[in-house]
A and B are shown apart, each in its own frame.
Chain A
Amino acid sequence: MSPVDSVFRPFRSADAERSDRAAGDRTRHRSKVRQAIRDNIADIIAEESIIGKDRNRIIKVPIRGIKEYRFIYGNAAPGVGQGNGESQPGQVVGRQESAGEGQPDRAGDRPGVDYYETDVRLDELIDLMFEDLELPDLERKRLREIPSDRSVKRKGYRQVGIRQRLDKRRTVIARVKRLLATRERDPAADERRFPFHDDDLKYKHLVTDVREESNAVVVCLMDTSGSMDTMKKYLARCFFFLLYQFIRSKYRNVEIVFVAHHTEAREVTEEEFFHKGESGGTIISSAYAKALEIIAERYHPSLWNVYAFHCSDGDNFDSDNANALREAKALTDVCNLFGYGEIKPMGSRAYESSMLNVFRQLDAANFQTVLIERKEDVWSSFKALLAKDRVVESGAA
């Protein structure tokens, strides 16, 4: 037998620092995780916990769907383990750990359930949710846009720049670094003058902060009448919460007006809108009239993109239906989009009147209705109203 050769290659820290070989694949994996979150957003939204919460809150999001599937045996198949010397038939050696309703497996030789939870800031989640959405038809009024104040933000450092943006601290640090490096090679350097060199100079770099901006106003109209029970109010608030967060995260120059109504409408603050309940009958036309009044006073449609969204259970006084229809027509004339969400939790549809039938007579391309029956519908109806690729006929209004 020939003697075996061997070689030892010593550790080189330079190699170690350079060799983050998994970086690309990790990024790719994370983008898959984000995709999985996006795909599950409807479920996450349906969880009550995020509605009305602080944007910096961290929420745990369960992720499935980045499993690596193969043909494998199910977990009913028997296995072999090693005991401590006292194994008896019938002894229980393990328990199914139920992670959700998934199929759990014993750790070890079986493929585990890829069930992750990741921490996501609510902020980040909201960004993810709204990535593909925007207020429809904004372009239509581009000519009417008034320029909004632009701002700049800092972005890194540059070797060149104007004097005002010289970062003295970094410049001095760069010089000290160079001094130390020089001294190491040439101890006599201490004695000589050591002036700043062009390479030491560090300038702050500024870029203009480009954000989508436009002068738009969103009018939120919510029915707060007695027929809006807890569930309905909750669904309506869910919807408006999404709308509110969406507008806050995507547009800087959008104003939001809150109107609550029962038999009469009034403008309320955000706090009141989301947290106060009222009672009484329902006269929908009152809300529309109020909205029209606000628009005429403060947001003239020749200057503003106007969006109105109304959530109600549709349990309107019959006598008001004709009025409501007329006012709605007037609203579609001044709005880029007027959305009506009817909230009918499952089962209540049979015996309550609905405005959907009434609004069917309203023939305007910029008028949209959606029906919200369950928590799960909120997100899909929200998307239906705002999806980017929604086909909007241009001959509207």
Chain B
Amino acid sequence: MPQAWDIGDLEAWDARIRARLEAFGLDCYPQEFELCDHNQMLGYIAYSGMPSHYPHWSYGKSFEKLKTLYDHGVSGLPYEMVINSNPALAYLMRDNSLTLQILTIAHVYGHNDFFKNNFTFRSTRAEYTLPTFKAHAERVRGYQEDPSIGLDRVEQVLDAAHALSLQCRRNLAVRKLSDAAARGAAIDAATPPPDPFYRVHRPPEWAAPEVRRTPAEPDEDLLLFVRDHNPYLAEWEKDLLTIVHEQARYFIPQIETKIMNEGWASYWHKRTLDSLELPPDLQLEFIVRHNQVVRPHEGSINPYHVGLRVWEDIHRRAGGGAAGDAAIFATRDSDRDSAFVRRHLTEDLIRDLDLFQYQRKGNEYVITEVADAEGWQSVRDTLIAGVGMNGVPVIRVVDGDAGGKRTLALEHRHDGRDLHPEYAERTLAFVHQLWQREVTLDTVIGGKRQILAHSDGGFTVKGG
């Protein structure tokens, strides 16, 4: 039941929504809404919502894929898209009905509030989002147009950098020590405390700490390490690595809080619209749309559904009302998905949601654990292992000069999950391309330690 609406209607509803949200205590950035058609929406999705973004064929690929799916009716388009910036920028589809627009506006404010207050987003510097992406785009275009560099070489570096972009530190709230500081800390730790009776005591055994290796501590920021320690990279290549790294770092908080963020926005659009006392025709459509968004997806996890249920549960368990609000606001500030699931996805809730753990057996995916007294923890832990950046293998640089031959030694912190062998092989080739010398990756495949290596001669596998 589409209703005719104009910008004036949206502004009126928006004012009412904002009044509600203020009363609820949400704390948002200023918000900008832009109305767009489906083609523009496809473009925004392909480029992560950014009004300007550097070019790369992978965005063309994702545009084509989205467009094909959309044209064939396999998947619809999201009702909105909102980016973490200050002011927050959101796109509304102009073909949506008034109810959808109202729902969407309330939903957008939920995300906006989350971006502003959740601790993971503190490192993203929301004021500079748009100018930063624009500057990146201009620099990349500049390199492509530079006759001494050109599109092909820029693309090669970007291809390799994209492959490694998520290989970086996950918790940006923890400060990274410089190599010098890390060495100092290692020396301090190895130095015995001053002993006032040193004349009568035998001096304690003292082992010199390893201070010559680079990096001093294993380093997860692969792109940055390559940038800082491969002396043969040109300045423009280093700049491309920086750009890709910075953009990945901007998106990591969103990856880290998918369930929380979507749940939070759904929670607030529900609560806001319930309190708005919509006219009956809008109310009916709202219930339909809301349930489409937050329905469970059988066989997988719908972050909107699971997130909403957990937020509601936190609110209820804290006693509802003002105490419930205080509890959810505190959680909003301090958690990310892995903590959120660990702390708040309780045994009862897992059983209620009927979450299960599955594993591949032969050609089939078989349920191995269900939400019963023995299995629920294992279900929860498996879920935690897959949320946010936990779905990305941890690969660290152990030594930037292994064997004195400038071999880059990487280790995979194996947590029971093996790397995908074909993907590991091809990605290692990208590391080698950037490092320009031999690269080794210490991992475990099928229970056996293996060292994958890529040198000028190609790819080899050695047993450990």
Chain A contacts to B: CB under 8 angstroms: 1, 3-11, 13, 15-16, 19-22, 24-30, 32, 66-96, 98, 103, 106-109, 111
Bits for B401-443, please: 1 = Cβ < 8 Å to A, else 0: 0000000000010001111111110110010000000000000
Determine whether the beta carbon of B386 is less than 8 Å from that of A109.
yes
Known: A9-B34, A80-B301. A95 touches B383 (CB 8 A): no
- Whether a CB of chain A sits under 8 angstroms from the CB of B130 is no
CA distance A142 to B378 in the complex (A): 78
Q: Which residues of A have CB within 8 Å of B375?
A: 89
Partner of A85, one of B28, B354, B392: B354
Q: Which residues of B have CB within 8 Å of A90?
A: 366-367
CA distance A78 to B365 in the complex (A): 9
CA distance A71 to B222 in the complex (A): 12
Interface 9-residue window, one of B56-64, B171-179, B283-291: B56-64
CA distance A236 to B166 in the complex (A): 51
CA distance A185 to B427 in the complex (A): 62
CA distance A13 to B40 in the complex (A): 10
User: Smallest CB-CB separation from A6: which chain B residue?
Assistant: B31
Determine whether the beta carbon of A94 is less than 8 Å from that of B63.
no
Determine whether the beta carbon of B366 is less than 8 Å from that of A92.
yes
Partner of A1, one of B27, B59, B306: B27
- Whether a CB of chain A sits under 8 angstroms from the CB of B184 is no
Known: A28-B57, A75-B420. A22 touches B63 (CB 8 A): yes
Determine whether the beta carbon of B14 is less than 8 Å from that of A6.
yes
Known: A9-B32, A80-B355. A74 touches B417 (CB 8 A): yes
**Could you tell me the distance in whole angstroms from the C-beta of A108 to the nearest C-beta in chain B?**
4
Interface 9-residue window, one of B196-204, B328-336, B356-364: B356-364
Determine whether the beta carbon of A29 is less than 8 Å from that of B61.
yes
User: Smallest CB-CB separation from B222: which chain A residue?
Assistant: A71
CA distance A390 to B420 in the complex (A): 40
- Whether a CB of chain A sits under 8 angstroms from the CB of B76 is no
CA distance A151 to B266 in the complex (A): 67
CA distance A286 to B380 in the complex (A): 81
CA distance A6 to B178 in the complex (A): 42
Q: Which residues of B have CB within 8 Å of A73?
A: 391, 393, 417-420
Q: Chain B contact residues (Cβ within 8 angstroms of A): what range? A: 35 or more
- Whether a CB of chain A sits under 8 angstroms from the CB of B279 is no
CA distance A10 to B32 in the complex (A): 11
CA distance A103 to B424 in the complex (A): 14
Interface 9-residue window, one of B185-193, B227-235, B268-276, B292-300: B292-300
Known: A22-B43, A26-B63, A69-B163. A83 touches B354 (CB 8 A): yes
Known: A19-B43, A26-B64, A88-B370. A72 touches B419 (CB 8 A): yes
User: Smallest CB-CB separation from A32: which chain B residue?
Assistant: B57
CA distance A69 to B167 in the complex (A): 13
Q: Which residues of A have CB within 8 Å of B39?
A: 16, 19-20
Q: Which residues of B have CB within 8 Å of A4?
A: 18, 21-22, 28-31, 109
Q: Which residues of A have CB within 8 Å of B55?
A: 24-25, 28
- What 6 A-B pairs are tightest by C-beta distance, nearest first? A25-B60, A94-B365, A29-B60, A26-B60, A11-B35, A28-B57
Partner of A82, one of B11, B25, B353, B368: B353
Q: Which residues of A have CB within 8 Å of B418?
A: 73-74, 76-77
Determine whether the beta carbon of A87 is less than 8 Å from that of B367.
yes
**Could you tell me the distance in whole angstroms from the C-beta of A27 to the nearest C-beta in chain B?**
7
CA distance A312 to B75 in the complex (A): 55
Q: Which residues of A have CB within 8 Å of B14?
A: 6, 8
